[in-house]
Chains A and B, each alone.
Chain A
């Protein structure tokens, strides 16, 4: 076995510990034994078990799943666009998904979660592809500017719809981002989708490696570059927009995690896909835990606090590329 798999047990352990910690700490704290009992012999007559099982567990699981999806999506976007600053929120996927979700909720007031997911995907896809189309073969700065400008524009449309229809409460959740109010039912829809998409990407790990090398290398290796870059892009956008429809707007996570993983484990997608996902899940679950401890602060604020210095660090480090 490749020695780069050796850290795997440690990382899985980390995910497990973050799950337990996120279950234990929050607005109310519980003992480890409570968590243990909830997992292995659930007794719904106890109030603490009810709270843990029906409110906190879906929330923690949702954080883990969303962190996994957003990080993998960021990793793939960075590889395919050959741009270290690519990330779902920068590419406008969040803004697009947001708008489409609001539209869906306007047209069908009682829209189901699956409906929200699908509309989020359509919106994220549309905006992401427009921004990528505008900035093809241009500088990274161009991509970022396009993303920022178009996101501002789309948020203005969203704001307009929200104001005109008086849906402030519904939207505050998306702009702030958060995993509160998840149900096991939503998770039952998202988890299989996430597993399918990530498995798809994992099967294309080799193709992603080739894409990362650049167009010439892809050509000389006889890869059908267009096919694979579109396929992986679409899957990555799908992952991100499904995550947005679940947890709202999360910035920087998709940028931060793949960078850390690539620093440690190199560039082979066989490893980075899995490790990015697990790292992202851990970070998101722990950020959500911190957010809960600090008086239900939106989780986005916590991630932004960690992510912003890191982003600036990346720009400073790779500054020559953009100057």
Chain B
């Protein structure tokens, strides 16, 4: 099948999910309502539901899904391991630690300090990834397997460590943390959109200009050095970008794993190894996965909402297992 046709299919699927997300929920809208919105003839209630509740959440899931997917794509390219995922190697745990610090010290004045939350979550995630990265050099060269092992260990350790402050938490604070770890899209209002989406788009643009380097990292490090590439520098830049993307994403949408693993993998199945195609298709598929998961979580046990993170893991876990069975050697 031609690539354009595949892209069209993915985009159509995404459009379907977006429209379904917009019309379903506790306040059902009809397709006519959507049309009336476009022609600016909608009633007040429809406008309120659409612009204050549905739109920001949809935007967040779209952008965060894409960010997680690209973050995974980068990690997989840098570590040369198709099983790398920001959630598995500790970004979520690091961001979680930032969130805990935020809840512990700032949350009292939640509304004014909202901007601090993504910032702290972001710093936490970034610091953890840089730490893991710094530890995975052996004999002057970056060892991707050690990177993943230390990442997993750090994820486990930091997740335990996160609970240090929980003994001081009251019920609402604990609830907040649990919501974070369940991957509930908690930042579904406009302020959260403004503090995350522009940065994510900016970083994505940076990544776009590094696609060539990313595709070259497939080759042996020695060979790349021979070509005159400063391999360690490129890897550090890419890993920092990846950590920024995923920690920004999880800071507004909660700890979500597996999207960074599945989206690039599905893209690879559909579009082969061309990094430019992979970049765009991962964005689309990541958005599709997260919005889809959010939609499923909203509909399947309505009126109860199942956090998107749980839905993603329930779908992603078996997929991960299948990958694990298939890859003979990691």
Contacts and interface: CB of A to CB of B under 8 A. Distances in A.
Contacts of A320: 138
Contacts of A85: 149
Interface stretch (B6-14, B18-26, B153-161, B232-240): B153-161
Contacts of B314: 153, 156-157, 160
A304 B162 CA distance: 10
Contact of B317 (A156, A168, A295, A304): A156
Given A152-B317, A168-B178, A316-B138, A298 B163 contact: yes
Given A134-B324, A148-B88, A304-B156, A153 B166 contact: no
B317 A142 contact: no
B318 interface: yes
A153 B317 contact: yes
Nearest to B316: A153
B148 A159 contact: no
Given A149-B88, A152-B88, A303 B146 contact: no
B149 A163 contact: no
A315 B83 CA distance: 19
Contacts of A300: 160, 163
Nearest to A175: B163
Contacts of B105: none
Contacts of B149: 85, 141, 144, 315, 322
Majority-rule SS of B interface residues: helix
A222 interface: no
Interface stretch (B116-124, B185-193, B213-221, B302-310): B302-310
B41 interface: no
B145 A146 contact: no
A175 B156 CA distance: 12
Given A172-B174, A295-B167, A323-B146, A160 B321 contact: no
Interface stretch (A71-79, A97-105, A189-197, A305-313): A305-313
Bin the interface of chain B by size. Answer: 35 or more
Given A148-B88, A316-B135, A298 B325 contact: no
A273 to B, nearest CB: 25
B122 to A, nearest CB: 22
A304 B97 CA distance: 14
A144 B155 CA distance: 12
A304 B182 contact: no
Interface in A218-242: none
A252 interface: yes
Contacts of A303: 160
B287 to A, nearest CB: 21
A311 B148 contact: no
Given A301-B163, A304-B160, A148 B155 contact: yes
B161 A176 contact: no
Contact of B310 (A138, A141, A149, A163): A163
B157 A307 contact: yes
A150 B138 contact: no
Contacts of A249: 160
Given A145-B88, A149-B317, A152-B87, A312 B150 contact: yes
B164 A312 contact: no
A249 B156 CA distance: 11
Interface in A129-151: 134, 138-139, 141-142, 144-146, 148-150
Most buried by A among B155, B164, B307: B164
Interface residues of A, number: 52
Nearest to B83: A145
A251 interface: yes
A164 interface: yes
Contacts of A156: 309-310, 313-314, 317
A323 B143 contact: yes
B152 interface: yes
Contacts of A157: 314
A183 interface: no
A67 to B, nearest CB: 16
B156 A142 contact: no
Contacts of B158: 304, 308
A159 B157 CA distance: 20
Contacts of B280: none
Contacts of B182: 159, 163
Nearest to A87: B156
A182 interface: no
A172 B174 CA distance: 9
A109 interface: no
A252 B167 contact: no
A164 B157 contact: no
B167 to A, nearest CB: 5
Contacts of B307: 159, 163
A297 B178 contact: no
A315 B301 CA distance: 44
A319 interface: yes
Contact of A149 (B135, B174, B320, B328): B320
A275 B153 CA distance: 25
A299 to B, nearest CB: 9
Contacts of A176: 163, 166
A272 interface: no
Nearest to B174: A172
B63 to A, nearest CB: 23
Most buried by B among A149, A252, A319: A149
Given A156-B314, A163-B182, A164-B306, 4 more contacts: A146-B324, A252-B156, A298-B166, A300-B163
9 contacts: A149-B83, A152-B257, A156-B313, A159-B181, A160-B310, A163-B307, A301-B162, A301-B164, A308-B156
Interface of A: 85, 89-90, 134, 138-139, 141-142, 144-146, 148-150, 152-157, 159-160, 163-164, 168, 172, 175-177, 249, 251-252, 294-298, 300-301, 303-305, 307-308, 311-312, 315-316, 319-320, 322-323
Nearest 3 CB-CB pairings of A with B: A153-B317, A156-B313, A308-B157
